Amino acid sequence: MNVHIFLAGGGCRAVGLYITWRITFASITAIGLLVALFLGMVFPKPPNTRPMTLHRLPVLFRNKALISIYLFALLATMVHYTGYSYVEPFLVQIARLDENLITLVLMLVGLSGIVGSVLFSRYSGRKSGLLLFTASSGMAASFLLLYPLSGFMRAVLALCFFWGIVYTLFNLSPQVKIMAVLPQASTISMTIYSAVFNLGIGCGTTIGGAVCIHASIAYIGYAGESLL
């Protein structure tokens, strides 16, 4: 996912600035199909010793731990995309960065996500509670500081890099918990998680858009922080 953010957020934007966006999206589609075919051929099918049926599906929604994780994932995604969906126009209108720097910022977010993934894989087993607390606090700090630091180019670059790290930690936590709560139904559980994730993107984008329309794009950070 973080490689996707790095390539799509920064790399594809750079391509789109020099060629038409139609060609860029067509290229993304073609590359995506090739990657899907490659993954289908390389990775083995995961074993499913106890297939999930429609009759067993309500069992998932009676699992309080799983529902709590889904709600947490919805909140995390909604908070992030309240700000991230509008970070590019924010950097243009408020931070006054030029096109090349904005591309760099978006690529830094993707790179920082890779760093966050490495940190999560190293510390999640021993200090998962502390890691989640750090990620939550870091997310809140990132949103609070987004507008005050918008006038300082280096500070914005550093903040976006930090934001990408803590969001990755924030986002990976529920995925690991889902696998631990229901390992025998991990496929359907993660499918529902994907739906929850997309719902969070839609809700966050809607909230951020409302802030931009009825208040100011300068306040998207405060809007995201208020949801935490």
Digit-coded pLDDT (tens) for 158-168? 998 999 899 88
53 falls within a domain: no
Q: Are residues 2 and 67 in the same domain?
A: no
143 falls within a domain: yes
Claim: this prediction has a pTM higher than 0.85: no
- Is 116 a residue whose pLDDT tops 50? yes
Tell me the DSSP string of 70-132.
Answer: HHHHHHHHHHHHHHHTTHHHHHHHTS---HHHHHHHHHHHHHHHHHHHHHHHHHTTT-HHHHH
137 falls within a domain: yes
| Residue 35, CB-side half-sphere exposure with 13 Å CA sphere | 9
Q: Are residues 19 and 94 in the same domain?
A: no
Q: Are residues 38 and 68 in the same domain?
A: no
Question: What span, in angstroms and rounded, lies between the C-alpha atoms of 21 and 77?
Answer: 26
Q: Are residues 94 and 138 in the same domain?
A: yes
pLDDT band at residue 9 using 50, 70 and 90 as cut-offs: low
- Domain of residue 29: give its range: 1-45
Q: Are residues 149 and 105 in the same domain?
A: yes
178 falls within a domain: yes
pLDDT band at residue 48 using 50, 70 and 90 as cut-offs: low
Average pLDDT over residues 192-208: 93
Q: Are residues 147 and 189 in the same domain?
A: yes
Q: What is the CATH number of the domain that holds 174?
A: 1.20.1250.20
- Give the SS3 label for residue 22: helix
Q: Are residues 94 and 186 in the same domain?
A: yes
- Give the SS3 label for residue 27: helix
- Is 6 a residue whose pLDDT tops 70? no
pLDDT digits (tens, 9 = 90+) for 61-90: 888 888 998 998 898 899 999 998 999 899
pLDDT digits (tens, 9 = 90+) for 118-165: 888 888 877 777 888 888 889 999 999 999 999 898 999 999 899 989
Q: Are residues 67 and 171 in the same domain?
A: yes
Q: Are residues 142 and 30 in the same domain?
A: no
Q: Are residues 116 and 209 in the same domain?
A: yes
- Structural domains of the chain, count: 2
92 falls within a domain: yes
- Is 12 a residue whose pLDDT tops 60? no
| Beta carbons of 63 and 182 less than 8 angstroms apart | yes
Of 49-58, 88-97, 152-161, 213-222, where does mean pLDDT reach its minimum?
Answer: 49-58
Q: Are residues 104 and 34 in the same domain?
A: no
54 falls within a domain: no
Q: Are residues 174 and 98 in the same domain?
A: yes
